[in-house]
Amino acid sequence: MKHLILALGLVALAPSAFAYHCPQEMAAIDAKLATYPRLSDADMSTVKQLRADGEAAHKAGKHDESLKLLGEAKNLLGI
């Protein structure tokens, strides 16, 4: 019985574990932006918009979309 309760608890907590990955991605983007990377104005604007959209998706519970947007921003930044 203890194993069943433990297994159910882990299954219930698994989705929330992935939700915490988005803030790490946003922090990596913020850290890179703090170094003033050499990007065109258009690319910098795109990175900032992707970062903002990724955060909004995260807050809306759309973590797959958030990670996709944040990944695009990271690619533009070269990280």
Domain for residue 30, yes or no?
Answer: yes
Query: Do residues 51 and 59 touch, judged by C-beta distance below 8 A?
Result: no
pLDDT tens readout for residues 26-62: 999 999 999 999 999 999 999 999 999 999 999 999 9
pTM (2 d.p.): 0.74
Domain for residue 10, yes or no?
Answer: no
pLDDT, mean over the chain: 85
Sequence-ordered list of residues with C-beta below 8 angstroms from that of 55, at least 6 positions apart, any chain: 22, 26, 66
Its domain, for residue 48, covers: 17-77
Q: What is the reported pLDDT for 12?
A: 53
Domain for residue 55, yes or no?
Answer: yes
Domain of residue 34, CATH code = 1.20.1270
Q: What is the reported pLDDT for 75?
A: 97
Flag whether pLDDT at 20 surpasses 90.
Answer: no
Phi then psi for 33, rounded to 5 degrees? -65, -30
Domain for residue 26, yes or no?
Answer: yes
Flag whether pLDDT at 6 surpasses 90.
Answer: no
Domain for residue 4, yes or no?
Answer: no
Flag whether pLDDT at 13 surpasses 80.
Answer: no
Domain for residue 22, yes or no?
Answer: yes
Domain for residue 3, yes or no?
Answer: no
Domain for residue 61, yes or no?
Answer: yes
Q: Total domain count for the chain? A: 1
